[in-house]
């Protein structure tokens, strides 16, 4: 995510994470007395961009939508898909047809029933080429989904069919082992046709012009705060303890810590200045994410089309300083694409099996940079390069550090553009950048999550990276159901995309594998933080009496 989700066979059937600490169960206290005030106050580093599940494509927005909507399946407390609006499903003997049975007591926030037609409508709306959804490609395992998205067939030809109000049939092109995992994604959530058509282009632009079927509903939404209220029409409302959730936008993490210490919020993200102070306290929480941060190059820009320029920038950057001195909180220097929290084969994670492809080598970086300039007929680098970066700490500090590193090591002067998150997303989507910092989090435990966005025809390929050999390797990986063979193909693809040697193309600049550190009041219980997909689920969280901590 920006967020993401991906297609086709997973490397491993297992959903379990390789590293401990991925996903955190907050201090469960089942025998403690509930507080009379079930109000949770949290902080996010940016605002949401939409309430339309079809158009959402960033992590913070996903966090909210995950708690006000629900798909057929949801990511559970054990980091595996569990039933949501569906209560069972059947898979055909040839493993190409899923039949989902929906709960008859599932309702929307206005009391109307959630039906199979709502899922058929929403999924086909994602695929409709007029919608221009960035997540259409995650539905492509479904029969004729890609063809519909490309305008080759009518919507009626797509393998998504509401048999009756409570039965949904999904016909796949071929067996897809991670299809159930995929149904936990935001894009797979239902929508009401009558409501979407009623509000038209305004749907999802305000709390009042949206409808919800999850544990909570959005009561209000401003740039400073999103206020959630318990959805009394939710099918499992008795399992939801919280009555109110305040999601405060706090871009400066030091401000968040001050709000936490003064008792104005109940959990806050820690930055580099505070990790050490809280690390040994009971309120410290560290949650690893299947997430990386990196720098995109605009491959349509002649300067960044030059492979030696890209490799030089990769080799010049000291990622250890970024991870250990700026980010802290458990983040690690990124030496490739796939984080260590994603599974590989044979019970090992992808990263340890594949190795590393990038490390700092300033002397080689300087030599390659000069060679690249010569190939471009330039005596010095351009002075007007702008990198779209973040407007909140600590990522804002990372951008400043990168700017200084490139100036000192390559004599490359770049300017920083640090807009609001919504503008940041729009600039990246519209390719209005020379360089751009971005993060990507897996929607589920599958390395394809990270690879597909670099394919030449993928809508999430914001940098316009285009390498026919990479595309070929991805196609071959899709065609095999042998996990070992698939891993070897993906390993080659990663080396090509990421590598700075003669065989690599240095298509982007990996920076860090992200872990996030928090402080959380001990009276907050069962706030589950996930390693992939949306960051947290509020459904099971509750507040105990402070004297019961």
Question: Residue 480 is part of a domain; what is its CATH number?
Answer: 3.10.105.10
Examine residue 67 and state whether it is found in any structural domain, yes or no.
yes
Angle at 75 between CA 488 and CA 491, to 5 degrees: 10
Find the CATH number of the domain harbouring 123: 3.90.76.10
- The verdict on 238 and 380 lying in the same domain is no
pLDDT in tens, 380-425: 999 999 999 998 878 999 999 999 999 999 999 999 999 998 899 9
134 close to 460: Cβ distance less than 8 angstroms: yes
Structural domain span for residue 401:
291-515
Examine residue 13 and state whether it is found in any structural domain, yes or no.
no
Give backbone dihedrals phi and psi of 352, rounded to 5 degrees, phi first.
Answer: -70, -25
Examine residue 475 and state whether it is found in any structural domain, yes or no.
yes
Cα end-to-end distance, the chain, whole Å: 35
- Count of beta carbons in the 10 Å neighbourhood of residue 355: 11
Tokens of 513: 């594998």
What residue has token string 């095999």? 480
pLDDT in tens, 120-170: 999 999 999 999 898 999 999 999 999 999 999 999 999 999 999 999 999
- The verdict on 511 and 525 lying in the same domain is no
pLDDT score of 23? 34
- The verdict on 310 and 336 lying in the same domain is yes
Tokens of 355: 């190795």
Angle at 460 between CA 481 and CA 171, to 5 degrees: 45
Examine residue 549 and state whether it is found in any structural domain, yes or no.
no
Give backbone dihedrals phi and psi of 130, rounded to 5 degrees, phi first.
Answer: -70, -25
Tokens of 278: 């809280």
Specify the number of domains making up the chain.
2
pLDDT score of 2? 52
- The verdict on 452 and 391 lying in the same domain is yes
- The verdict on 327 and 239 lying in the same domain is no
Examine residue 307 and state whether it is found in any structural domain, yes or no.
yes
Give backbone dihedrals phi and psi of 208, rounded to 5 degrees, phi first.
Answer: -75, -20
101 close to 45: Cβ distance less than 8 angstroms: no
- The verdict on 442 and 529 lying in the same domain is no
The answer for residues whose C-beta is within 8 angstroms of residue 98's C-beta and 6 or more apart is 89, 90, 91, 92, 169, 170, 172, 179, 180
Q: How far apart are CA 286 and CA 300, in angstroms?
A: 39
Tokens of 259: 């709000």
- The verdict on 463 and 532 lying in the same domain is no
CA separation, residue 445 to residues 26, 161, 178, 482, 531 (Å):
22, 27, 9, 17, 9
- The verdict on 325 and 449 lying in the same domain is yes
Examine residue 111 and state whether it is found in any structural domain, yes or no.
yes
Examine residue 140 and state whether it is found in any structural domain, yes or no.
yes
Label residue 94 exposed, middle or buried (CB < 10 Å: 0-12, 13-18, 19+). Answer: exposed
Which residues in the chain come in under a pLDDT of 70? 1-31, 548-549
- The verdict on 240 and 365 lying in the same domain is no
Q: Give the relative orientation of helices 468-479 and 483-498 as an angle to the nearest 10 degrees.
A: 170
- The verdict on 316 and 460 lying in the same domain is yes
Q: How far apart are CA 66 and CA 76, in angstroms?
A: 12
100 close to 118: Cβ distance less than 8 angstroms: no
- The verdict on 77 and 131 lying in the same domain is yes
User: Strands 244-249, 39-44: parallel, antiparallel or unpaired by DSSP?
Assistant: parallel
Examine residue 420 and state whether it is found in any structural domain, yes or no.
yes
- The verdict on 400 and 439 lying in the same domain is yes
């Amino acid at each position: 995510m920006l967020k993401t989700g991906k297609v086709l066979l997973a490397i491993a059937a297992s959903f379990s994470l390789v590293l401990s600490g991925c996903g955190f169960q907050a201090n469960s206290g089942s025998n403690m007395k509930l507080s009379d005030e079930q109000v949770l106050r949290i902080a996010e580093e940016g605002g949401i961009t939409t309430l339309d599940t079809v158009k959402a494509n960033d992590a913070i927005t996903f966090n909210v939508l995950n708690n006000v909507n629900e798909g057929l399946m949801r990511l559970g407390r054990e980091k595996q898909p569990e039933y949501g609006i569906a209560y069972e499903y059947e898979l055909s003997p040839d493993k190409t047809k899923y039949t989902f049975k929906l709960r008859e007591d599932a309702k929307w926030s206005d009391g109307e029933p959630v039906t199979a037609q709502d899922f058929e409508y929403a999924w086909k709306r994602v695929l409709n080429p007029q919608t221009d959804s960035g997540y259409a490609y995650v539905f492509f395992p479904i029969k004729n989904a890609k063809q519909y998205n490309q305008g080759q067939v009518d919507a009626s030809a797509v393998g998504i069919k509401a048999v009756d109000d409570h039965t949904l049939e999904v016909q796949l092109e071929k067996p897809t082992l991670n299809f159930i995992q995929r149904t936990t994604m935001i894009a797979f959530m239902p929508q009401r046709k009558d409501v979407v058509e009623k509000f038209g282009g305004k749907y999802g632009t305000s709390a009042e012009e949206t409808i919800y079927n999850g544990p909570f509903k959005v009561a209000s939404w401003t740039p400073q705060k999103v206020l959630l209220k318990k959805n009394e029409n939710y099918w499992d409302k008795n399992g939801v303890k919280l009555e109110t959730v305040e999601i405060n936008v706090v871009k400066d993490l030091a401000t968040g810590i001050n709000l936490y210490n003064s008792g104005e919020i109940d959990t806050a993200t820690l930055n580099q200045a505070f990790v050490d102070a809280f690390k040994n306290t009971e309120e410290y929480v560290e949650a690893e994410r299947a997430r990386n941060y990196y720098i995109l190059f605009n491959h349509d820009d002649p300067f960044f089309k030059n492979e030696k320029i890209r490799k030089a920038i990769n080799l010049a950057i000291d990622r250890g300083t970024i991870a250990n001195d700026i980010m802290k909180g458990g983040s690690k220097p990124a030496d490739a694409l796939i984080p260590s929290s994603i599974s590989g084969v044979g019970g090992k994670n992808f990263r340890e099996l594949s190795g590393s492809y990038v490390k700092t080598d300033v002397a080689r970086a300087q030599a390659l940079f000069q060679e690249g300039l010569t190939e471009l007929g330039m005596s010095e680098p351009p002075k007007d390069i702008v990198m779209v970066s973040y407007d909140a700490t600590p990522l804002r500090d990372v951008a400043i550090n990168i700017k200084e590193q490139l100036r000192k090591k390559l004599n490359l002067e770049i300017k920083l553009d640090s807009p609001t998150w919504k503008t940041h997303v729009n600039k990246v989507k519209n390719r209005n950048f020379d360089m751009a910092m971005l993060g990507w989090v897996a929607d589920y435990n599958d390395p394809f999550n990270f690879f597909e966005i670099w394919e030449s025809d993928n809508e999430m390929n914001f940098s316009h990276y285009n390498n026919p050999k990479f595309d070929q390797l991805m196609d071959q990986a899709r065609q095999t159901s042998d996990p070992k063979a698939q891993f070897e193909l993906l390993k080659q693809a990663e080396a090509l995309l990421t590598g700075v040697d003669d065989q690599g193309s240095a298509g982007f600049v990996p920076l860090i594998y992200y872990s996030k550190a928090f402080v959380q009041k001990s009276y907050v219980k069962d706030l589950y933080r996930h390693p992939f997909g949306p960051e947290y689920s509020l459904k099971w969280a509750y507040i105990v009496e402070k004297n019961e901590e």
